[in-house]
Structure 1
Amino acid sequence: MKNILMLFFIFFSWITLSSAETAPISVRLNDDTAWIGQKVSFFIELRAMGSFSGSARFDLPQVPGTIIIKVGAPVVSSEEIDGQSWFVQSHEFALFSQQAGTLKIPEFSVRFASRAGFSGPANDVQTTFPGMKVEIQRPPGSEKSSFLVTTQSLEINEIWKPTPGPVEAGAIFTRKIAQRASELSGMALAPPSTDVPDGISVYVKNDEIADKTERGDFLGQRIDTITYRMTKAGNFTLPDVVYSWWNPITRKIEKFILPAVRFEVSPAPGSKTATRQGKMLYVWVLLALTLLSFALWQKTFIVEWLRQHWRELNPPDKILAENFLQACAQNNSASAVTFWISWRNTQGELFKPEPELQSAVFTLLRHRFGPEPSGFWQGDLLALAFTNHLNMEKEKGSEKKGKVLPELNRKNFHPA
């Protein structure tokens, strides 16, 4: 019995040791040398003693000038390791880099779940991608600062809406550039050029990426939509757009050129009028600022001048007369007395009211200050007498002004 237990312990320890020595992750890289912009395929293989559960998660790193994407769905298989059967889940990735030299992909976390056998609860497993290196070569004859991809074929076409031609300022054109390449992702293809001359505004819409994988062949597509707006009149030219790629079969740099596009832009209707209006607005604003500055500088003088002219246009006796008539119209005896006394004080010592006005004023005073109340007071008679007085004073003033010229004429008259 003891021998049987010993054999079982040795067998279990051997299985456990074999499982511990087998890493849950490995990396398979078909080729560690590639051209700039060329697809580099590598595979991450996950291993477990039982079936996998759910989807694996990869914390892909951000590498300057490099794109790493996952390709397709994982492939599940099994393999024998030290007499043990392991489940293997293989994930394909594609790498595209614009950085020449030794490219280092750092470690990153990988998480997945597996069961003990085909059933039972899933156990989470966290492991680490061990990192890898790839040598990226720059094709001979290529410029160090140029964007370059590696492919056997690159198709490029463009569509303009509307077709470029003579237009007016404010016109808008839309340009769609489509790129298709084998063994490339659309994400790895060149972005559109935004070089435009002064007088044209450019807006780039988010690119459309459509990658396809058929029977192991990788086909990438990128569609860029660019909008141009003619902001002013003139003749403008969009430069050539040059797309370059390295053909690994012919070992040559090939190019495709979208030709330059020219625009003849005339002024928009009403633009000259708008310009003149803008200039006139500028003149008026400048004049207003000048007047404001002068007003602030001569504030005291201007305020005094305005007060003087206000007094000339609205003398105290005129304002008091208006208030007096308003009090009479409202039959307000108290206010009428107050404004009458104030107005009377502006007329001087020689003032003597007409009998009609004097009688109406006495009636007002008896009502306010008599020994017995005289009932309700109406101010219409007093208002009428006061208005007649003002009219007579105006006529007297006009007669005095009219007599001045004849006297001057007599002095200057010489009979023949």
Structure 2
Amino acid sequence: MATVSRFRGSLYALAKWFVLLVVFFSLSCHATTIDDLLSSGRLTIHTNVNHQGIVSVKQPITLRIEVATDRWFSKGSRVGAFTMHDVVIPPVSELAINGSRKIQGQTWVTQTREILLYPMKAGRYQIPSLGVEVSVNSAEGVVEGRVMTSPVTFEVQLPEPLQGIEEFIVSPEASLEIEGMFDIDALYRVGGAVTQVITISAADTPAMMLPELPFSEIPGVSVYHKPSEVLSRSSRGDQLGIRRETRVYIFEEVGEFQLPQQIHYWWDTDDQVLKTLVVPPQKWMVERKAFSWKSLTTDLNWADYGKAIAGLGVILALLWQLFRHRQLLVSQFLMLSHYRERQLKKHFIQAVQQQDYKAACQWLYEFYRLPSDESDTLRSVFSTDKEQSVILEQLFSSAFSAEILGSSPATISLSEAKQLLHRSLPKSLDETGLSAGIRLN
């Protein structure tokens, strides 16, 4: 009997292990995969181009990829990056659009990915098959895998009004704003500067696709171009591209100057009409800065000068003659005593010490004034001395760096500033020292 009992126990143990093995292999053979969910109709994927009507070159179209299941997603779907020839594709958003709908009375959940495409040329395009990573909570647990989309084709046309135009904006709404327009009635001075900011904005257009404003060389005017600001903003699915160009115009010479008209073409996708954004032509006048006796004669003691005249004891007629010619006498006195040069040096050094480098440039300009028939500049005055030329360029950079680049100016040492005063004054300087001056550059 004991032998029979042991035999029965062994049979029971073998039967239990056999059942476990059968269950294990059965589950292994029937494990659910993404392909199983697709083939059984419990997971679907649909791809389409969400655009109606004619697609124009540079007009955005939206590729919609929708994944749906009768269960629910354990995490968001992901679409791998891809490229297309002659198509600009901004980075794909990590956010999916979650939703649900009824299919034959059963609730299905959906995840939709939207990818913007900007075709740059006319023609027929085909979006390749794309891999989409999905994760579904099925009855057997979490099932993950890759689902492939079907290729999608679309046509792009170039509207006839845009034929022959290289640069243009395609948008339902675009605008152009200008800050710092030149005024023909304003009085600009040599050494002065004007900052102009031009901003182009366009809806449904990434900022990188907005055209760069053309640059025109202007003899007699230095133009410093601040790096372009390229901004793309998105709010509730609406995209706005912004391009901002900042330029500083520094006046070097006397005369009349102008900027030509600039025309930027814009294809209005709502009205299907070619429109323009215009920067109007601009003119302005630049004059030489008037000579300031007030700043140069601050230290002159007119009381002592009057006593000196009274001490002469001349007759009233002589006093009257002296009074009539007082400007000439003062000019001669200033010239013989080098008063003007000493005062200009003093103002220049004070401006450098106060880090007012724009004023320092102007005083240096006054110090090296040349006759009106010369066309030399400050750079030409120091062209033979490399060290002084380097210091001069540092002074220019410090004078305009804050206005151009928005940064703090570099400092110029007092010893460096004094080196700029060690050049010989031009021999052609006239007796009054009031001739037209050197240009600030």
TM-score by length of 2: 0.49
> Structure 2 CA distance, aligned partners of 1:284 and 1:114?
74
Contact 2:183/2:283 (8 A) holds in 1: no
The 1:42/1:167 distance shift into structure 2, 3 A limit, reads farther
Deviation of 1:67 (Å) = 3.2
Contact 1:179/1:189 (8 A) holds in 2: no
SS at match of 1:43: strand
Deviation of 1:155 (Å) = 3.0
Q: Could you say which residue in structure 1 is the equivalent of 2:230?
A: 207
From 224, 244, 247, the equivalent of 2:244 is: 224
Question: Is the aligned partner of 1:46 residue 2:150?
Answer: no
Deviation of 1:242 (Å) = 2.0
Question: Is the aligned partner of 1:240 residue 2:261?
Answer: yes
> Structure 2 CA distance, aligned partners of 1:154 and 1:45?
32
> Structure 2 CA distance, aligned partners of 1:266 and 1:64?
54
How do 1:33-112 and structure 2 match up within 5 A? 33-63=54-84, 65-69=86-90, 73-78=96-101, 80=103, 86-112=108-134
Q: Could you say which residue in structure 1 is the equivalent of 2:382?
A: 278
Count of equivalent residues: 268
> Structure 2 CA distance, aligned partners of 1:241 and 1:284?
40
SS at match of 1:141: helix
Q: Could you say which residue in structure 1 is the equivalent of 2:14?
A: none
> Percentage identity across aligned positions?
13
AA partner of residue 179 (structure 1): S
The 1:211/1:238 distance shift into structure 2, 3 A limit, reads farther
Q: Could you say which residue in structure 2 is the equivalent of 1:135?
A: 155
Contact 1:207/1:225 (8 A) holds in 2: no
AA partner of residue 101 (structure 1): G
Question: Is the aligned partner of 1:197 residue 2:220?
Answer: no
From 28, 40, 46, the equivalent of 1:26 is: 46
CA RMSD of aligned residues (A): 4.4
Unaligned runs of 5+ in 1: 1-8, 286-416
Question: Is the aligned partner of 1:260 residue 2:284?
Answer: no
> Structure 2 CA distance, aligned partners of 1:132 and 1:53?
28
Cα deviation digits, residues 136-160 of structure 1 (max 9, x gap): 1111121344233444443332223
Cα deviation digits, residues 115-138 of structure 1 (max 9, x gap): 225xx9644323344442221111
Contact 1:204/1:227 (8 A) holds in 2: no
AA partner of residue 230 (structure 2): D
AA partner of residue 207 (structure 1): V
> Structure 1 CA distance, aligned partners of 2:272 and 2:388?
70
Contact 2:172/2:270 (8 A) holds in 1: yes
Q: Could you say which residue in structure 2 is the equivalent of 1:414?
A: none
AA partner of residue 281 (structure 1): D
SS at match of 1:211: strand
TM-score by length of 1: 0.51
SS at match of 1:41: strand
The 1:230/1:54 distance shift into structure 2, 3 A limit, reads farther
AA partner of residue 134 (structure 2): F
Bigger radius of gyration: 1
Deviation of 1:97 (Å) = 2.5
